[in-house]
Amino acid sequence: MSPDQSARDYDFATQAIRAGQPFDATTGSVIPPVYLTTTFVQDGIGGFRNGYEYTRGGNPTRTALEEQLAALEGADRGFSFASGLAAEDSLLRAILKPGDHVLMGNDVYGGTHRLVNRVHVPWGVGLDTVEMGDLDAVRAAIRPGTRVVWLETPSNPLMKITDVAAVAEIAHAAGALVVVDNTFATPYLQQPLALGADVIVHSTTKYLGGHSDVLGGAVVLNGGIEVDGEDLADKVGFIQFGVGAVSAPLDAWLTTRGIKTLHVRMDRHSANAQALAEALVGHPKLARVYYPGLPEHPGHELAARQMRSFGGMLSVELHDEAAARRFAESTQLFQLAESLGGVESLVCYPSEMTHASVRGTALEVSPAIVRLSVGIEGASDLVSDVLDTLDRV
């Protein structure tokens, strides 16, 4: 399947498996080979075969992943990086110059806030955070120099839902670009470009890779977005090549393999998380359950409109810090670890783990919150694990 217009008519599942995956013309190998090479022989000086010259600039295994990513987000161009943060940094460098301003949700991934706050702010960029669900607050926080409005929905760890179309309307009226970090939802559950966003970023380390065995990141967008007289996609491509935080061929291949089952995994992640959330509502040891699939969640109706289902991430608030710590350290199937989105269930204590970098800032997370990345093991085993653990804390 080539990345032409007709490919866009295929179902998501077909694209996940087939986009960027033509069989090998030389051998008939159904799976395209992993091109573990740094360089490519030239047919005479400058005679590149299919444009390949040196792997930092391009490698067929990375191209396969980039075509797959673009197809799944319904975009023209995909760029794959060594990590989610490398992707974010390359995108921001392509857009920003000193004096520009970034407006971010007050609950974005801690590392994203740290990247801008500790790397781009000292370089002369302005940064503010805002409650993205409060559209008046978003309008008020946009300044003449605002170039980027950056949001995550569902957010981490409180699963807040942002109206992508409404924020895009406000940002576009002010001449700013909307970047959506679509890591939690994945393109299977949510298509931010169709909702009006300009650029998607991913930590492919999470659900896209899906097996907790490969780090990666992506920038996905359409051509035709002009930034300082240049096409933004071309600028991202230049920084990917010129700075070099690319994904290695084997990493790209593992990510591609993971993506082929994304739709099947996400259906199960959502079903398991929904079952767990419903089993936990009203539990006496919990002050609150944060899951957008629950009707009482404040973003439930918006999420139902914006997403295919509600995803595999769920947070709970215990009655105090001590109970939260005991809970996070006592589950059996849910393993205490950073990260999320793998087939195996993980538990995380955000205030000292994923969100340690934002302690003391507006993004600080309550010490009574515990986050669960609900895997695709048997739902009843996962529910029993959490209920048994709550009995003991």
Q: Residues in the site for ligand PLP, rule: CB under 6 A? A: 83-85, 109, 111-112, 152, 156, 181, 183-184, 203, 205-206, 215, 217
**b/e for 237-248, b at 16 or more Cβ within 10 A?**
bebbeeeebbbb
Contact criterion met (CB below 8 Å) for 30 and 257: no
Catalytic residue (choose from 62, 147, 160, 206): 206
Catalytic residue (choose from 181, 198, 251, 385): 181
Chain residue at closest Cβ approach to ligand PLP: 84
Smallest gap from residue 198 Cβ to ligand PLP (A): 17
Smallest gap from residue 112 Cβ to ligand PLP (A): 6
Q: Is 265 assigned a catalytic role?
A: no
Smallest gap from residue 182 Cβ to ligand PLP (A): 9
Q: Is 35 assigned a catalytic role?
A: no
Q: Which is nearer to ligand PLP, 124 or 244 (CB)?
A: 244
Smallest gap from residue 349 Cβ to ligand PLP (A): 15
Catalytic residue (choose from 35, 52, 107, 109): 109
Q: Which is nearer to ligand PLP, 52 or 109 (CB)?
A: 109
Smallest gap from residue 111 Cβ to ligand PLP (A): 5
Q: Which is nearer to ligand PLP, 83 or 389 (CB)?
A: 83
Tell me the C-alpha distance between 376 and 258, whole Å.
Answer: 14
Q: Is 56 assigned a catalytic role?
A: yes
Single out the residue of 36, 129, 150 nearest to residue 87, CA to CA.
150
Residue 321: phi, psi to the nearest 5? -60, -45
Q: Is 206 assigned a catalytic role?
A: yes
One DSSP character per residue, 215-282 reads --EEEEE-TT-EETTEEHHHHHHHHHHHH--BPPHHHHHHHHHHHTTHHHHHHHHHHHHHHHHHHHTT
Quote the tokens at residue 10: 């295929």
Q: Which ranges in 74-126 belong to alpha helices (H)?
A: 84-95, 110-115
Quote the tokens at residue 262: 């994304």
At 189, the amino acid letter reads L
Residue 83: phi, psi to the nearest 5? -160, 170
One DSSP character per residue, 339-364 reads ---SSS-EEE-TTTTTTGGGTTSTT-
Q: Which is nearer to ligand PLP, 112 or 146 (CB)?
A: 112
Q: Which is nearer to ligand PLP, 182 or 389 (CB)?
A: 182
Smallest gap from residue 86 Cβ to ligand PLP (A): 7
User: Which residues, 6 or more positions from 321, have their beta carbon under 8 angstroms from its beta carbon?
Assistant: 367, 368
Greatest CA separation found in the chain?
74
Catalytic residue (choose from 56, 114, 257, 268): 56
Q: Which is nearer to ligand PLP, 83 or 315 (CB)?
A: 83
Write out the catalytic residue numbers. Answer: 56, 109, 181, 206
